[in-house]
Structures are given as structure tokens and as C-alpha cells.
Structure 1
Amino acid sequence: MSSISRRDLLAAGAAATLISSFALPAGAGDRPNIEFLYSPFADYAPFFVAKEMGFFDEFGADVTLSPKGNTAETIQMLASGNIETGGATWGAGLFNALSRGATVSIIATLARMPDTVPSPSPFMVSQAAWDDGIRTVADLKGKRVGIPGPGGFGMYSVAKALEKGGLTIDDVEAVYLPPPATAAAFANGALEAGWSIEPFAGKLEQEGLGRRLVEDHTFGTELGLIAFNQDFVTDNEDAVVRFMAGYLKAARLLDNGGWTDDGIVDIVAKYTGTEPQTLRGIPYTIRSQDGAIDMASVREQEAFFRARGALEYEGDADIDAVYRRDLLKRANDLVASKP
């Protein structure tokens, strides 16, 4: 594996302290393995691309990608040290864990909702319900609405969509189920509406099972974050920086037209279990160019869960105590140093 030379880093304007820390080891045995927990959603695409296109290897990160069940599983496994890193959504469980002193470090944004439509995470109505006359959000009062969980981004997103029709979560019958299960629930009449995310939203449309009802409810909202076990970060800062550099390179590729490449679509199809034709042309989540988190958006979500009585603490969660902006900056510097 090639290494980053001192001359290259100096040419990029990097400090001498960064030069020594970014020198890549000659052998993979010198690098700690980083296992990343992911969900089979399109917003995890940068990790799939970084793995398959060799970006992690390019920056000297030894990475294994493992599928997961839910956000709560990720935070619990990170806090206990059973996993090095994973993606999670902002939600009551995470906020409460941070307030209790969970041993995790937050490094960067994972995904953010775009300010455009169509949305990669629409609020959808079943085709059967549409045919029965449910054409507006207000028509959903007392109806069954699918939500992926009681305390995460899915609930926040559904609540924002319901606001468009003057409703709240308490005005509907919440049914908790993961996005892949929405298709069956729409087909058998178990749900009138529900939260979705790509590629599942597109599949619902293509199969004639659902329609987009609301898409302008979460413009610019932070959807997820990248977190690490805190002890792992303390002992392996350079490995974390290298991992993040691979992620940033892949994210920028995707956010700057990469989705038009058939090879990239094939990679994402492999990890999401979706046919490539389903992925072509669907809307996608985005990220800030440097991976920074929009904290104003995070605080809005925290306020929502506090209003619902879902938080166990007073005041704001001390996110700054675990948000490692310094490592994110180093990762950006490392990407910039590559020719």
C-alpha cells in the first residue's frame, strides 16, 4: 500500500504534527479493524462506495461493514464496546444515552434531508387508502400510520408531516414497523399511511402500493450521524481519521453526480438488496461537504422529543462534549492532502 509522503502533506499546507500522524502503515496487520454497523438504506451509500471502490484502503483504514437491526442496537453496542462504529439517527434514545454519559463519540453527519422534492424520505399513503378517499393529511385522523419506532427520526418526520394537516401523533393510531415491512402492510390494508425512505419509497410507487402524500416537511433536517465507541477513539484517533477520510471522499463523489454511474448504483444495490433499476433516478439524502452537523436541526429534534415527554433530563444534551470536530477536521485535511 502506498503511503502519504511528507512532501505531499506540506504541499497541501498540513502542519508537521499532522504529517507524522497520517503516515500510513506498511502492512494491514498494523491497523485496527473497524467494524461499521449499517442499515440497508440508500443514505448509507457512502460507506458501501468507500468499501467497494477502495477509498478506505486508500487512506489506510481496515473496514468491515455489518448490517444491523435498529438505531438503539447501534448505540448500545457502541457504548458497550462490542462494535467500533455505526450510523444512528437522532432521537430520544440517543439524547437520553448522551445525558447518562454513554461512552460514544460523534464524528460527523451521516445524512441530511435535501431542500428539494421529490424527497428521499416521504410520508406516504397506501394506494388502497387513496382509492377509499384519503387524499389529504387531515383525512388520516384516527387512521393507522406506520412509524419505524417511538423515539427516532421516523417519528419526528411523521409528526412534521401530520402538522401539514393540523394533526399530531396523538391524532392517529401509531403502528411501529420497519420500512421494509410497509409494503406488506399497505398491501393487506394494515396501514393507511406511513413513513418511508429510499429505496423502499420508490418500490412502493413502482409496485402500485403507495403514493407520496407529503414531501416538504423535513427540508434540511439532520437525519443521522456517525458515532464511534469512545475508548476506541481515544486509542485509535488516526484510524478514525482514516476511516472518515474514506467516507468523505465517497460522500462527495455521490453528492456531486456519482449516482449517475452504473457501477456505483450496482454497489448500492448489492448492499440494499434492491434491483439497480429501482435505484436509478430516485431522490437521495445529502451531506454537508465537510461532514459537519447542523446543530440547530439537532436541537429542533431534541425539543420535539422533550415536548413529548420522552427525555429523561433537563436542558440541552451536552453534545459538544462528545462531538469530535477535531477529528473531522483532520479527516478533511487528509482528503485535501491527496493528489
Structure 2
Amino acid sequence: MRFGLLGRAALVGVAATLVLTACGGGSSEGTNAAKDGPEDTSITVGTLPIPDIAPLHIAMQKGWFKEEGLEVKAETIQGSAVGLNKLAAGGLDFMLGNYMSVLKAQAQGTGKFKYVADSFQAAPDTFNLMVGKDSKIRTLADLKGKKVALNTKGNVGDLAVASTLRQAGLSNTDISIQEIPFPNMGAALAAGTIDAAWCGEPYISEMQTKLGAHKLADTMTGPTADFPVAGWSVSESYATKNPKTVAAFQRAMAKAQQLAASDRTAVEAVLPTYTQIQSDVAKIITLGTFPTSLSAQRIQRVADLMVELKFLDKKIDVSNMIIPPPPAK
């Protein structure tokens, strides 16, 4: 949830060009192709310049959206909260969001949302609490009363930190949460305006190499091991009106998720094209995993932990929010 989804650095917009091939005007083949194609052929997707979203850019570069009759415009969003408001209002058609933010927005009545594709799952050391080189903080218990940076409250970072602090008998009320964009956390840590920072790659590696910062705790262990972070969502109304568009998006993303999951070099190659991660850094950063299926059971873990840690008042049945992927053509 940096998924998330997670205010980060500016995204370099990349757009695929839609190519429509017609077989003779008025032919039955052309008519059937139009009838069977997506209802909405030009879609706007809310995105962030983070590793989680690499499969989208792989699909765009490979032309897999084009094969499905879709033209994709990638639009930078400030974070999941802003993006979900826009998704509910129709300003976005699809959005990558961290699961916690989507579930919270659904519970609060921001809109009704559906999950259409998984994107990113945590792995060891993909999201850590970092402290400065000369920090006297040695254990989680030492964080009591300290200033801890999150990119934004109410997202997967908030949940992961709360789960991690519980190991030391603490909660998020025992720390002072500071909302700081990921790119600015290193400077704040070096200046001493914060005591610790929760972040993922490439910021973990940058803090280690440039500041001598070190890991206090991996926040994706125990209850959050292999935790679902981010996935693709649509509004329920959009899905109802555009089922063929949703299915086309799902098929293109399924190919990309499979490639990202099986070939790290494909992810390394695409990261520098839409993030500020350089090629040499892309080869060494710690990456999470790219799930190849959309599992209600897996995402239910997020909702259940949110209830357990008081981020939700009552349980949400995630299975009601899932649109099963269609079979491959």
C-alpha cells in the first residue's frame, strides 16, 4: 500500500497510442469487432512513480492494451485519498491504490469501489522504519514519544507501523506521526526534525548510501508478512457501465503481472522510464512481488487487520468488492 498508494515523486507520463484496424466499411467482421470491443476505448488511470506500478508500464510498452482496443493515459495522483475522490467522481477510470485506503474510503462512504487486478505484495525489507546514522533509537520501545514520518496518514504505512509497534506494546498514539513526502524524508532525518521514517524503495537504499541511515525494523513481518499492498480499482458504476472495458484492462494487466512476476529484468528495465530510479539502482533495490491472481482471501487480511487495529469499526467482506478476471483470449 505505498501500496498506498502513497504520495511520491512526479510521474513521467507515458501514453500508448490506440490503433484501430477496420476491415472494409460496413463489413460484418468490422461490425462484430466494434460490438465485441470495449465500451470505453480511451481510459485514464491514476498512477504513481513507484515500483508497485511497473506492470502497467510493461503492458503499455508491450502494446498489450492496444491489442485489447484500449488507449491508456497515465495521470499522476497525489495519493490514494485524492485519487479515490476523483475515481468516485468519474475523473479517473482506473486507479492504483493501496488496499487500506480503498477499504477505508468504501467504509466511509466516499464511493463504492471494485477491485479488478492485484499489483504489488510486500516482501522482507520492502517497507522499513529507518533511523539516522547516529540515532540513539535501538529498539521499537525507544520510539515512544518520538517523531515518525509517514508519507500520509490512513494508508498502508499507518497500518504497518501500528502492527509493528504492537510488538513493543505501543500503538500509533504513542508516537508523533509527521506527514512528509517520501523524497523529503531523508533530508528531514538528516536534519533531526524527525526521529524515524517509514518508507520503501528506492528511499531505503538512498538513506543507507547517502546518509548512513539504518533499519530499525522491517514493518512487513509477522501479521504483515507477504502483505497485499496495492491493486487496481474502479468505481462500481464504471464497472457496471463498462464491463468489456474492465475485462480488456484485466487481460492486459494479467500478461504484465505474469511477466513482472517471472522476470525481474523486465521490471528493472521499465523502472527508469517512469520513475527517478536509475538503471544501476533498479538492479539492486529490494522489490516486493507481483501477484498473478486477484484473491479476495489475500486482500481480506488487510480488512481484518484494520478492524483488529481499530482503523475500521466493522468487518468488510472483500469478496463483494472483487470483479473476477476474465479468461485469456
Q: TM-score w.r.t. structure 1 length?
A: 0.79
Of the candidates 289, 294, 312, which is equivalent to residue 292 of structure 2?
289
What does residue range 1-339 of structure 1 map to in structure 2 within 5 Å? 25=34, 31-91=40-100, 94-98=103-107, 100=109, 102-114=111-123, 117=124, 119-127=125-133, 131-215=134-218, 216-217=220-221, 218-257=224-263, 259-261=264-266, 264-293=267-296, 294-305=298-309, 307=310, 310-311=311-312, 314-325=313-324, 328=325, 330=326, 333-334=327-328, 337=329
- The answer on whether the counterparts of 1:49 and 1:268 sit within 8 Å (CA) in structure 2 is no
**CA contact under 8 A between 1:95 and 1:317: conserved in structure 2?**
no
SS in 2 for 1:203: helix
In 2: Cα distance, 1:104 partner to 1:296 partner: 15
How much has 1:193 moved relative to structure 2?
0.8
Structure 2 letter corresponding to 1:63:
V
Q: Secondary structure at the match of 1:35?
A: strand
Structure-1 separation of matches of 2:257 and 2:208: 27
How many residues in Structure 1 have an aligned counterpart in Structure 2? 298
| Residues in 1 aligned to 2:40 and 2:33: alpha-carbon distance in whole angstroms | 9
Shift of 1:206: 2.2
Q: Distance in 1 between matches of 2:41 and 2:68?
A: 13
Unaligned runs of 5+ in 1: 4-19
- Counterpart of 1:220, as a letter, is D
Q: Secondary structure at the match of 1:290?
A: coil
1:133-172 superposed Cα distances (whole Å, 9 cap, x missing partner): 2222222221111112221101011112223333221222
Contact map agreement 2:159 2:306 (CA 8 A) in 1: no
What TM-score results when the alignment is normalised by the length of structure 2?
Answer: 0.81
| C-alpha contact (below 8 Å) 1:24/1:60 kept by paired residues | no
**Cα deviation per residue 1:290-312 (whole Å; 9 max; x = unaligned)?**
2324133123332145x2xx54x
Distance 1:155 1:298, change over 3 A: same
One-letter amino acid of the counterpart of residue 130, structure 2: M
Alignment partners' CA distance in 1, 2:38 and 2:242: 14
Deviation at 1:112, TM superposition (A): 1.4
Shift of the alpha carbon at 1:234? 1.7
Change in Cα spacing, 1:24 to 1:65, as seen in structure 2 (3 Å) is farther
Alignment partner, residue 10 of structure 2:
none
The structural deviation recorded for 1:209 is 4.6
3-state DSSP class of the match of 1:164? helix
Deviation of 1:93 after TM superposition, in Å, equals 6.6
The change in CA–CA distance for 1:123 and 1:24 in structure 2 (over 3 A counts) is: farther
Relative to structure 1, the CA distance from residue 136 to residue 101 in structure 2 (aligned partners, 3 Å threshold; closer, same or farther) is closer
Could you give the per-residue CA deviations for residues 183-207 of structure 1, whole angstroms, max 9, x where no partner exists? 1211211111111012222222221
Compute the displacement of 1:225 (Å): 2.3
The percent identity for this pair of structures is 22
Question: Within 1, Cα distance between the matches of 2:316 and 2:304?
Answer: 12
1:259-312 C-alpha deviation (Å, 9 max, x unpaired): 224xx424211211221211112221223322324133123332145x2xx54x
- CA apart distance, 1:56: 1.6
- Return the alpha-carbon distance in structure 2 between the equivalents of residues 70 and 316 of structure 1: 24
Inter-CA distance 29–222: structure 2 relative to 1 (3 Å threshold) = closer
**CA–CA separation in structure 1 for the residues paired with 2:180 and 2:122:** 21
Q: Is the 8 A contact 2:41 2:69 kept in 1?
A: no
Q: Secondary structure at the match of 2:215?
A: strand
Contact 1:46 1:251 in 2 (8 A): yes
**Match of 1:315, as an amino acid?**
K
Deviation at residue 2 of structure 1 after TM alignment: 9.4
Alpha-carbon distance in 2 for matches of 1:230, 1:143: 41
